[in-house]
Amino acid sequence: MIKKLKAAALRVKNDALTTYFVARDPNTPIVVRLLALAIAAYAMSPVDLIPDFIPIVGYLDDIILLPLGIMLVIRLTPTNVIEASRAKAAEVIARPVSHTAAAVVITAWLLCAAAFGFLVLEHSAR
């Protein structure tokens, strides 16, 4: 059961990335591009329609709405665009992940947050 869920999650991730590439392809009709962009942005956004902390209902948008939106985009997109977008998505997913780069970016954000906090404290102390 867990293997099936992991495989389904990987397919949704791959399809969400495919949807992003569909949105960027100039051969995609403009209405489909806008829909694909909205679906891809929602898939990658940390903000949900229904917050995940709400039991059971919180994951409904991730389990139902997102796959339905992706399926709609795939049905409305020309086949050649889907094939090219899937190839790009597979290429991106196959790239190695750099944990060092991630650590550098996280450190930079933490330093910026600390500097901002320091400035706010200095300003409020006046």
CB 81 within 8 A of CB 27: yes
Instruction: Report if pTM > 0.85.
Output: no
Q: What is the pLDDT along the chain (126 residues), one digit of tens a residue?
A: 778 877 777 788 888 899 999 999 999 999 999 999 999 888 887 776 677 677 777 777 777 888 899 999 999 999 999 999 999 999 988 887 788 888 898 999 999 999 999 999 888 877
Distances 50 to 28, 36, 41, 54, 69 between C-alpha atoms, Å: 30, 20, 16, 8, 16
Phi, psi of 13 (to 5 degrees): -60, -45
